[in-house]
Structure formats: C-alpha cells, structure tokens
Amino acid sequence: MSLKFKTPAKINLGLHISGKRQDGFHELETLFQMVDLFDEVEVESTPGDIRVFCDHPEIPDGPENLAYRSAKILKDHCPGDYSGVTIKIKKRIPAGGGLGGGSGNAAGVLLALNLLWNLKLSRTQLMDFASQLGSDIPFFLFGACALGRGRGERLSHLQPSKKFNVILINPRFPISTPWVYSQLNLKLTKGENNISILQKFFSQSDISNVGAHLTNDLEPVVIKRFPEIQHIKNRLSALGSRGSLLSGSGSTVFGIFDDPQMAEAAYEKLRDEKWDLFNTQTVGSLTELYPKEMIDFPE
Ligand code: C5P
C-alpha cells in the first residue's frame, strides 16, 4: 500500500527569542504560516528496511534525513511487527532555507505511516514524536497557521487570516540554523516582544499592518554576515511588498502582498535575478494538503 501527498513550506511572520535554556535550545515565540510551495512525498509499505530516495543531490538519504528518522522513531517505539518502508521525495522547497521543507517531509511521513501501519496514534502522540525529531515538525501536524512557544513545539491555533500572496526569494546559499543561534546577542533580543500586536493584525486580516509589524530576532545576525539579505528586502519593498522578512534562520526572504496583481508584477520583475523565486499563497487548513484519512485521528 502506498500514499502520495505534498508537504508545504512555512514562513515565520514573527519570531521573538526570549532567552537561552539549560538544554541549549532557545525559548521563543513565533507566528507560523504555511504557504503553497510543496515537496512531493510518496510513502510505500515495502518488505525490508527503511529506504529514502530524494531527487536533491545534497540531501542525505540515510539516518540523517528527517523523513528516515520519522519512520525509525515509529518503528522503534510502537509495538507491532512492521515491514519496511520506501520514501520517495521530490524537492521543490529550497534546503537550508528557513522554510521547514525537511520538517514538513518528516511530519508527512509520521501521518502516512500512522495510517499505513495502522498505528492509531492520536494527534498528541504524533506531536510528541515530532517534537523529539525537531522543533518545527509539530507545526506541520497542526497547521496551517499557529502560535509556537517553547522551542516552537508548544502550539496554539490561530484563526487563519484571509489568504494573501507571499513571494519567496532564496539567494541560493543555505544557512546553518545552529550557527545563527550561536551568534545571537541575547541582551539585544530580550526587550520588546511585538508578536501579540502582529497576531492581532493577522486575526483581523489586516495584511498591510501585518506587513508593517513583521519581526524576526534572527534577522540582524544573518544580515550582518550576508548583506545580500538586506538587498533582497530592499528590492521587495521597492516592488510594493507590504513588508519583507527573513524566514526563520534563513536564507529565504519573503515579501507579503495583499494584492495578487502586484505580487505577480513583482515576481515578473524579479525573474532576471540570480535567485530562486516563488510566488505563493498562504494555506488556510491542513485539509487543503493531505488526503482526509491521513488527518482523521483523535486529538
Ligand atoms: O530542533 P531543530 O533540530 O530544528 O534545531 C536545530 C538547531 O537550532 C538546534 O540544534 C539549536 O542550535 C537551534 N535552535 C535553538 N532553539 C530553538 C530551535 C532551534 O537554539 N528553539
């Protein structure tokens, strides 16, 4: 039996770091939003072991791959006699780009195997496995927009705003998340937290004010080392974006637009640049992504 589905990218409309924890992770508050740039994933229950095939040459296909680790954690922790699994991934989402592509793949594999292996795990149990695999993975089981606290894994639902356009620009170099966190000056980030005001405008679908209040404490660190990020932001504002920001720890910058025609015009103007470019829309609900039976489980 096999399942074929697509897993989305995410952006962080806001990301505030409040401190460093004993376990080395940072305590944060973030507003996650899924967008309709997708990887394609196929999960097939097969005899033998866990096998991952990915069409991206730089993405590992062994135990370092998050999708592999999703299958492994279920195999190791759920009683039962499972056969192997073959996971095929077609990458569209840039890797190392702050868009959570690998985290989305991992979450999709958890959902698919819960169904294919008939594990009957609840959303809470799946989210617990997800948070052991990575801070952003629970969000992809929870979607499609949410407030994340703790490491980013403690989630609360947000009412989706009306859909809006998001242009993603990836400068074609990856950025290491641990490196970005290691460069943070916590004295500078501990102050103001604008996530609640951003959340207010988001819930009112006031895209213009969402744009004006985009905030990411990781952005200054990345701009200092990679000035091209600031250049991309300047290009987006000159082309009419309501606001632009680094997504997560980068390297992707996004610009938000409340007028689809302006987004399309900006996209056309940016096409000559040496960047990877995507004109996307926000996702409203998980039901837009996964087959119904994959997300039909107890809370
Ligand atoms: O959880 P994940 O594997 O995505 O985290 C990757 C790295 O990002 C961690 O090893 C850590 O360096 C950093 N991180 C952090 N605080 C968070 C999330 C990630 O310091 N809340």
Identify the CATH class of 165-281.
alpha beta
Residue pair 35/166 in contact by the 8 Å Cβ criterion:
yes
Question: Which residues have C-beta within 8 Å of that of residue 230, sequence separation ≥ 6?
Answer: 223
Residue pair 283/146 in contact by the 8 Å Cβ criterion:
no
- Quote the Cα angle for 17-9-148, to 5°: 30
Domain covering 2-158, topology: Ribosomal Protein S5; domain 2 (3.30.230)
User: For this structure, is 10 an active site residue?
Assistant: yes
Q: How far apart are CA 147 and CA 157, in angstroms?
A: 7
**152 CA closest ligand 1 atom index:** 21
Per-residue burial over 220-251, b = 16 or more CB atoms within 10 Å of its CB, e = otherwise: bbbbeebeebbebbebbeebbbbbbbbbbbbb
- Residue 5's SS3 state is strand
Q: How far apart are CA 150 and CA 170, in angstroms?
A: 27
DSSP result, 200-263: HHHHTT-HHHHHHT-EETTHHHHHHH-THHHHHHHHHHHTT-SEEEE-TTSS-EEEEES-HHHH
Q: How far apart are CA 269 and CA 48, in angstroms?
A: 50
Q: CA–CA distance from 48 to each of 64, 66, 118 (Å)?
A: 19, 19, 18
C-beta 151 within 6 A of ligand 1: yes
**26 CA closest ligand 1 atom index:** 16
C-beta 210 within 6 A of ligand 1: no
Domain spans of the chain, in order of start: 2-158, 165-281
Closest protein CA for atom 12 of ligand 1: 178
Per-residue pLDDT at 152: 97
DSSP result, 20-55: E-TTS-EEEEEEEEEEEEEEEEEEEEESSSEEEEES
Residue pair 13/260 in contact by the 8 Å Cβ criterion:
no
Per-residue pLDDT at 189: 65
Q: What pTM was estimated for this model as a whole?
A: 0.96
Q: How far apart are CA 144 and CA 291, in angstroms?
A: 15
Task: Report how far ligand 1's centroid is from the alpha carbon of 66 (Å).
Answer: 14
Per-residue pLDDT at 1: 87
**177 CA closest ligand 1 atom index:** 8
Per-residue pLDDT at 218: 97
Catalytic residue among 36, 136, 217, 258: 136
Task: Report how far ligand 1's centroid is from the alpha carbon of 29 (Å).
Answer: 13
The pLDDT tens digits of the residues spanning 62-115 come to 889 999 999 999 999 887 777 789 999 999 999 999 999 999 999 999 999 999
User: For this structure, is 272 an active site residue?
Assistant: no
Q: Which of 243, 96, 254, 274 is CA-nearest to residue 180?
A: 96
Residue pair 178/12 in contact by the 8 Å Cβ criterion:
no
C-beta 5 within 6 A of ligand 1: no
C-beta 25 within 6 A of ligand 1: yes
Per-residue pLDDT at 81: 74
The pLDDT tens digits of the residues spanning 14-32 come to 999 999 999 999 999 999 9
C-beta 26 within 6 A of ligand 1: yes
Counting as low any pLDDT under 70, the low residues of the chain are 188-191
Q: How far apart are CA 239 and CA 257, in angstroms?
A: 10
Task: Report how far ligand 1's centroid is from the alpha carbon of 134 (Å).
Answer: 8
Closest protein CA for atom 10 of ligand 1: 178
